[in-house]
């Protein structure tokens, strides 16, 4: 039980801060015509987080910390994808200006974007692998299993909650009319994240 609670608290601390991944899942809850249509983003983000958590627990953090080239490649992919996603978000059609089918992204786009913000965000990857991986070394066998399950459970529940929350806000007319501005703010946030990665890599 102690390991399970520790895993829950640790996972919540990592996943709660506002980030590109959270913004994207929330956005899909708002823009998709139904909650079911937002599930590809939720499931993909959850699976990616599950993969990162499993890799962290299995000790991949040691590998990441040992190879500078791997970090550079991860950083490069992250910057490219954030810039691309920012451009897509900035130019997306505002909610309420057209029908649901044209304003919402396709299932393929949801999966691609969710993978990119989950696996090609260096800070998210290194935080997950570093923090969760480091914490997991204090547990063995069943304790490590419960610690891992807790981290994964929080991840799935959080992304489902974000989509449901987005869906609830999306039904409000005033909020939907403001979503064009929210898209612009999200795009700027993505570009600033990319710039921060560039800046932090040069220090």
160 vs 198: which has the higher pLDDT? 160
User: Of the candidates 135, 125, 35, 37, which has an alpha carbon nearest to the alpha carbon of residue 77?
Assistant: 125
**20, 193 Cβ separation under 8 angstroms:** yes
Query: What's the mean pLDDT when you consider all of the chain?
Result: 77
Model confidence pLDDT, tens digit, residues 132-162: 877 777 788 888 889 889 999 999 999 999 9
Q: Over the stretch 74-97, which tens digit does the pLDDT of each residue have?
A: 677 767 777 877 787 787 655 444
Residue found under tokens 């890599």 = 201
Q: What is the pLDDT of residue 41?
A: 92
Residue 71 pLDDT: 66
Indicate the domain borders of the chain: 21-26+37-202
Provide the 8-state DSSP code for 16: S
Q: Read off the pLDDT of residues 2-14 as tens digits, 9 standing for 90 and up.
A: 888 888 887 887 7
Q: CB neighbours (10 Å) of residue 108? A: 9
**99 — pLDDT class (breaks 50, 70, 90):** very low
**What is the mean predicted confidence (pLDDT) over 44-72?**
76
pLDDT tier for residue 35 given thresholds of 50, 70 and 90: confident
What pLDDT band is residue 58 in, cutting at 50, 70 and 90?
confident
pLDDT on residue 97: 45
């Amino acid at each position: 039980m102690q390991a399970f609670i520790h895993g829950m608290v640790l996972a919540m601390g990592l996943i709660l801060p506002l980030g590109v991944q959270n913004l994207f899942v929330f956005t899909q809850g708002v823009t998709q015509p139904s909650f079911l249509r937002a599930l590809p983003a939720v499931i993909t983000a959850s699976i990616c987080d599950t993969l990162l958590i499993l890799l962290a627990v299995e000790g991949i953090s040691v590998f990441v910390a040992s190879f500078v080239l791997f970090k550079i490649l991860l950083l490069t992919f992250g910057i490219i994808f954030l810039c691309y996603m920012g451009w897509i978000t900035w130019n997306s059609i505002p909610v309420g200006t057209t029908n649901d089918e044209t304003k919402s992204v396709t299932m393929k786009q949801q999966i691609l974007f969710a993978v990119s913000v989950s696996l090609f965000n260096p800070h998210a990857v290194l935080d997950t692998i570093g923090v969760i991986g480091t914490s997991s070394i204090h547990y063995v066998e069943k304790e490590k299993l419960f610690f891992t399950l807790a981290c994964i459970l929080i991840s799935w529940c959080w992304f489902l909650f974000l989509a449901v929350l987005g869906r609830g806000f999306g039904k409000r007319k005033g909020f939907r009319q403001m979503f064009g501005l929210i898209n612009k703010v999200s795009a700027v946030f993505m570009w600033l994240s990319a710039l921060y990665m560039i800046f932090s890599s040069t220090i």
